Amino acid sequence: MYQQESELNSELINSARSGDSVAFEQLITGQRRQLLSLAAGLARDLDEAEDIYQEAMISAFNALPKFRGDSQFSTWLYRIVVNSANSYRRKFRNSVGRLFTNREVDDSQIEFGSSSGSELEAEFHTDNPENALHQSQLGRAIAGAVALLSRQEKVAFVLCHQQELKITQAAVIMECSEGTVKQTLFRAREKMRKQLSGFSR
């Protein structure tokens, strides 16, 4: 993801900034899978992830004239997805009130890639004849534990574990210091370890 912007991308960015929707579509096509994966990690289900992604892309297109290239274009898109997820959640809470807190989380629809939470999975991994079932249960438990994190903890965890970004990259996206990311990530991991304490090594 974090590669130097190519000359072609620079041309597409300039065209998109001028209102060329085709150029913008070309820019995001290669990143759609990653951006949807990020949205899925921050959403409560896949429908919400798609809504967040669509809202983020509309916001990105409208904000393109303000993009000055101070960061990688992909970094900028990631930040918009994170902000859109936060905005979506606030609007959703306001629209349904208390019903939001009573709605059950469908863990089966929180999709993590093969690397999502990989370090945590490794810590609780067991090799036995029932390993496949154990790992399936663990995957659901991890998804449920992630759902219980605070908003910032969840963002830090998804960026650094699901998306496998470095602390420096997550800090740019979260618009905070690297120290804040480290502290937030530490709290997230500690909370998840407690939630997953029932799983043996």
**What is residue 113's predicted lDDT score, i.e. its pLDDT?**
35
CB atoms within 10 A of CB 65: 11
Structure tokens given for 123: 């810590």
Count CB atoms within 10 A of the CB of residue 124. Answer: 19
Q: For residues 89 and 80, give the distance between their C-alpha atoms in angstroms, rounded to a whole number.
A: 14
pLDDT, tens only, 79-96: 999 999 999 888 766 654
pTM, whole model, 2 decimals? Answer: 0.73
Give the model's pLDDT for residue 20: 92
104 φ, ψ (degrees, to nearest 5):
-75, 145
Domains belonging to the chain, first-starting first, are 1-111 (1.10.1740.10), 112-201 (1.10.10.10)
Structure tokens at 26: 């070309």
CA atoms lying within 13 Å on the CB side of residue 97: 1
> Which parts of the chain register pLDDT below 50?
1-4, 96-124
Q: What is the DSSP secondary structure assignment for residue 70, as one 8-state letter?
A: S
